[in-house]
Amino acid sequence: MRYTSPAAAALVSAALADLTGRYGGDGDGTPVDPAQFDPPGGAFLVAWLDSRPAGCGGWRTHHGAPATAEIKRMYTVPEARGRGVALALLRALEDSARAVGYRRMILETGYRQPEAIALYEKADYVRIPDFGHYKDEPGVRSFGRDL
């Protein structure tokens, strides 16, 4: 689905509102160009549950590493949490990136997102050196996984 589609845009707005509640500010100041999620250099997925958008996530080519995909905007609506939506979405993102030749996934999250950290650890992601927009922030937690 396009990053700018109505369902995706609503979920991204909810994700940013969630991050604002956890961290303050604008939620996530990472520069994001919707075109970065267009194939073949990216993808944006929306999970549906009971005919309603239940979660989203995307990947984009990590700058400077053409075989590495960076996950952005992973989010599950509160009423769908604990039902396997996030893990299914994460695996679908991995499959999407793998299908076009990517060999590694990386992401940034933060210490005020313990459920996200638990998800990534459950999915065999390991801590990696911090990178990206929040590289020097004390609460950043960066993870990666070979595909």
Query: Mean per-residue pLDDT for 134-140?
Result: 92
pLDDT, tens digit, 9 for 90 and up, residues 53-109:
999 999 999 987 879 999 999 999 999 999 999 999 999 999 999 999 999 999 999
For residue 61, give the nearest of 76, 88, 78, 39 by alpha carbon.
39
3-state class of 63 per DSSP?
Answer: coil
Predicted pLDDT of residue 31: 86
pLDDT, tens digit, 9 for 90 and up, residues 109-125:
999 999 999 999 999 99
121/135 Cα distance (integer angstroms): 20
Q: pLDDT averaged over the chain?
A: 95
Sign of CA dihedral 10, 84, 48, 103: positive
Query: Mean per-residue pLDDT for 30-48?
Result: 95
Predicted pLDDT of residue 65: 84
Residue 77 contacts residue 14 (beta carbons within 8 Å): yes
Query: Mean per-residue pLDDT for 27-48?
Result: 93
CATH superfamily of the 6-146 domain: Gcn5-related N-acetyltransferase (GNAT) (3.40.630.30)
Element (H, E) at 51: none
Share of the chain above pLDDT 70, in %: 100
For 40, residues 6+ apart whose C-beta sits below 8 A from its C-beta are: 100
Structure tokens at 3: 């990053």
Share of the chain above pLDDT 90, in %: 90
37/145 Cα distance (integer angstroms): 20
Structure tokens at 47: 């999970």
List the domain boundaries for the chain.
6-146
